[in-house]
Structure 1
Amino acid sequence: MQQNPLPSRLILADVARGLALLAMAIYHFSWDLSWFNVVGWDVSGAPGWRLFAQLIAGSFLFLVGFSLVLAHRNGIRWESFWRREIKVAVAALAVSVATYFIFQDQWVRFGILHSIVVSSLLALPFLRVHSIIALLCGAGVILLYHWLGDYVLPYRQFFWLGLNSLPEVSVDYVPLIPWFGPVLLGVGCGDIFARYDLLRFLRGSASPSVISRCFAWFGRHSLATYLLHQPILFGVVWVGVNVGLFGDVQVRSFQQSCTAVCSQTVDAEQCARACECTSAELMERGVWEDLLVRPNDPDVREIAQQVFQVCLRP
Structure 2
Amino acid sequence: MQQHALTGRLILADVARGLALLAMAIYHFSWDLTWFGIVGWNVAAGPDWRLFAQLIAGSFLFLVGFSLVLAHKDGIRWKSFWRREVKVAIAALAVSVVTYFVFQDQWVRFGILHSIVVSSLLALPFLRVHYLIALLCGAGVILLYHWMGDFVLPYNQLFWLGLTSSPQSSVDYVPLIPWFGPVLLGVGCGSFFARYDLLRLLRGSASPNVFSRFFAWFGRHSLATYLLHQPILFGLVWTAVTVGVIGNTSGEAQVRSFQQSCVAACSQSVDVEQCERACACTSSEMIDRGLWEELLSRPNDPDMRELAQRVFQMCLQR
Give the TM-score band, short-chain normalised.
0.7 to 0.9
Q: Which residue is equivalent to 2:283? A: none
Question: In structure 2, the residue corresponding to 1:207 is in which secondary structure?
Answer: coil
Q: 5 Å matches for 1:1-314?
A: 8-249=8-249, 251=251, 253-254=253-254, 256=256, 292-293=293-294
Shift of 1:146: 0.2
How far the C-alpha of 1:289 sits from its partner, in A, is: 7.7
Using the size of structure 2 for normalisation, the TM-score is 0.79
Residue type of the alignment partner of 1:211: F
8 Å contact from structure 2 (residues 65, 186) kept in 1? yes
What is the CA-CA distance between 1:249 and the residue it aligns to? 4.4
Greater Cα shift, 245-254 or 174-183 = 245-254
The offset of 1:245, in angstroms, is 2.4
**8 A contact 1:241–1:249 mirrored in 2:** no
- Count residues in correspondence: 266
User: After the TM superposition, which segments of 4 or more aligned residues of structure 1 sit over 6 Å from their partners?
Assistant: 257-260, 287-290
**Larger radius of gyration between Structure 1 and Structure 2:** 1
Structure 1 position 160, deviation (Å): 1.0
Change (3 A) 1:257 1:174: closer
Instruction: Return the letter of the residue paired with 1:46.
Output: G
Question: Given residue 237 of structure 1, which amino acid in structure 2 is its aligned partner?
Answer: V
8 Å Cα contact 1:37/1:253 also seen in 2: yes
CA distance in 1, matches of 2:292, 2:35: 20
| % same residue | 77
Q: Which runs of 5+ in 2 are unaligned?
A: 1-5, 261-272, 274-286, 297-318
CA change 1:176–1:288 in 2 (3 A) is: closer
Query: 1:168 aligns to what SS in structure 2?
Result: coil
Contact 1:14 1:216 in 2 (8 A): yes
Find the aligned partners of 2:150 and 2:259 in 1 and give their Cα distance.
34
CA deviation profile, 1:45-98 (whole Å, cap 9, x unmatched)? 000000000000000000000000000000000000000000000000000000
> In the aligned structure 1, how far is the partner of 2:221 from the partner of 2:201?
22
Deviation at 1:253, TM superposition (A): 3.6
Matched to 1:60, the amino acid is F
Q: After TM superposition, give the deviation of residue 292 of structure 1 in Å.
A: 2.4
Residue identity opposite 1:77 in structure 2: R
- In 2: Cα distance, 1:232 partner to 1:62 partner: 26
- Tell me the TM-score normalized by structure 1: 0.80
**Deviation at residue 251 of structure 1 after TM alignment:** 3.2
Deviation of 1:7 (Å): 6.4
Give the stretch that moved more between structures: 82-91 or 156-165. 156-165
Q: Contact (CA 8 Å) 1:7, 1:206: kept in 2 or not?
A: no
- Which amino acid is the alignment partner of residue 15 of structure 2? V
Cα deviation, residue 211, structure 1 = 1.0
